[in-house]
Structure 1
Amino acid sequence: MATRSYPFKQQKNFVLAAIYIGQTGSVQWHTLYQNRNEPKVRYKTEVFDFNEPIGRIKFALRLYNFYFTIEGESNANSEIATYIYQVYSHMPKLKSFYAGRGTKRDATDSGEGNARPRTRPRGDDPTELEAHGYIVEPDRIETEDGIFESLRKLPSNLLTVFRPSDPDAMLVAKKIRKESNELEILRLIHLIQPQSEHIITLLDSFHGQSSSWVILPKIMNNVADWLWYDLKPFSPHFSPVCWGLIEGLAYLHNHHIAHRDIKPENLLVDDKFCLKIIDFDVAVQVRDDDEEVDDHCGTEGWVAPEIEMRLPTYSPIKADRWSCGAVILYILGRLRQTNTTLEVIAKKLKVDTPGKRPSLVEWPKWSQPAPVVRVGVVMKRGWSQSLGQ
């Protein structure tokens, strides 16, 4: 729409934006601004359609340009991701935002049956996945306005895929490292009945010519992102998220599986704030809690002291307990929340001496039972189902 201007007695230097996102995907952007040397205040309204890829692209670019104008280049690149993430997290049906890159080109169609122009990913991975019935959703698209790359890219070993029969159901194809036991671990977990809702679901798996693949549900938000970008929506749900971590790890340990890389980035949260443990790249199966291993793995800051000190051997199950306690205390500290039961559990798990860390499987034997809480209309009791704060 055209920019309108109004006389203003005093010269200011400001810009003010108001963004309204409707439930149908229509977005109105109202901007009020005045240049320092101009006596008029200008007003502009723009409309974006989040139901169309180009509408999401233009909105993301507009948002970036707005923040760049205010803060400059040094802050724009890092801070704009926060704002885009906040908008994205409230629009779960959207697939991606894009930021412009490269030179302007004419729109093309890949012929894959989707109206959105696509740029096919490089390498043999797409062909390998297509042979097993999966189409790769590229992380960049081409439109008449240029080439656009996703602002929220997956790691290089992950690809977003879908089945031609259900193109709206986005999945994740993970390429397994040759040295990893992840495929075997996920298949083992998949066979265990009943399954845990707090472990990522293995939907499919197969061996390709270059490597093995697993197909998993695509859940974009992890605990680290929530705690870094968007505390307010996450805060009311921190208790079930923490209990989900305890229950999920207890489930693994009960079946003698150690994860060995528990950290906020490896804990997904779905749209119902149900926690899912992911990334079994370094997981191992052991005989019991006391079996020790000699390879050191994990992420700095989230590994137990015995791993950090590089002791010759250590129990991976007991190391998982320490990481569990560390994550719970981090969540509570980041949110500045108080939960006596969770604090007691976390501090007992996060002791330096591995042998003094209590078993998550035997939680009721070393701590008071969690209070009875109401979840919906069902009354549930017990540590593994208690979601109360």
Structure 2
Amino acid sequence: MSHPVRTSPRTAVAGSAPRLEIDLSAIAANTRLLARRSTGDLMAVVKADGFGHGAVAVARTALAAGASSLGVTSIAEAQALRAAGLHAPVLSWLNAVDADWAGAVGQDVDVAIPSRDHLDALTRATIGARVHLSLDTGMGRDGCSPVEWADLCRAARMAERQGRLTVVGMMGHLPCADVPEDPSNSRGRNRFSWGLMTARAAGLRPTVRHLAATSATLLDPLAHHTTTRVGAGLVGIDPSRTTALRPALTLTAPLVEVRSIHGGTSIGYGHTWTAPGPTRLGLVPLGYADGLPRSASGRAEMQVRGERVPVVGRISMDMAVVDLGASGAEVGEIVTVFGPGDAGEPTVREWADAADVLEHEIVTGLGARVARGFRPARPPAAALRSVR
């Protein structure tokens, strides 16, 4: 086997390191587009640190661009928003029975209740909660079973009469909203309507009703009710792939090493790639510990000097290798891993396709070792033009 011939070592550009830039103007533009498509209010879902984009920054941007409330999974996520000075209505919908219910009420956080056990624990722990009852409308995972729904509604109404809580909302979720013709969507809408009638028959009057997430917000007006919940769409991910949303992330890194190799040289763990001829390789200091999916090895691309170059060999914990070919790139030059695609660079969608995962997995999996920076939102007119 031929041995690699290294180029003369050079030091990377001073201060250069992997960097993730979040374009807040993209988030603002997406929010405005989604608010226009919603027939009701828009709840900005900023769970999982705003889908990896920074929960506080995404929340502030979305509220300024037309969202009227916020949604998260845990009470802790909601409390972090309150600690950052955000006072908009916020709903937490995924908590254990022994959650910090009193803490939620103390910080004016609405909570979703999916079962009698949750309801009983809430009423034992605190007084004055604002509750959204959660109905399983077809997901088969979260929300109250239809079999138990009437009982939950009656118990919630009794607690309401006792002054222990107020049922302000009702929620559900559609399993196949990205495929509008799927019959489960109509079944889910019908179940939600039935659930609302059942709640009203028990004496409840939920004024905030939300069933649609991103895909249904874009494709299914019948699912909108008073509010739509949008998370992935805010950051440029459309699961239905029907709408030109603006990706908000750009991930870059410097080349920390460049070497010339002979044909026949094999690269990385398992020697899954062997150079067919002489070429130059670049080492990128990002790996699966930073969120690059190992399953994209040998399939994904990056961009150097305006040209795409393939990722070769296996992506390892801390590094990936690209075949620079004849690009002439040297140590210290910046590689674009993915971005919005404006300059021909790979996108998050392309990386997700290469790894056979959701875009959501890519953006929420980016590790803490990557430094973050924010590009401020531009005025609305400029931001809107960017998504056309």
Q: Mark yes or no: TM-score above 0.5.
A: no
TMscore range, shorter length: under 0.3
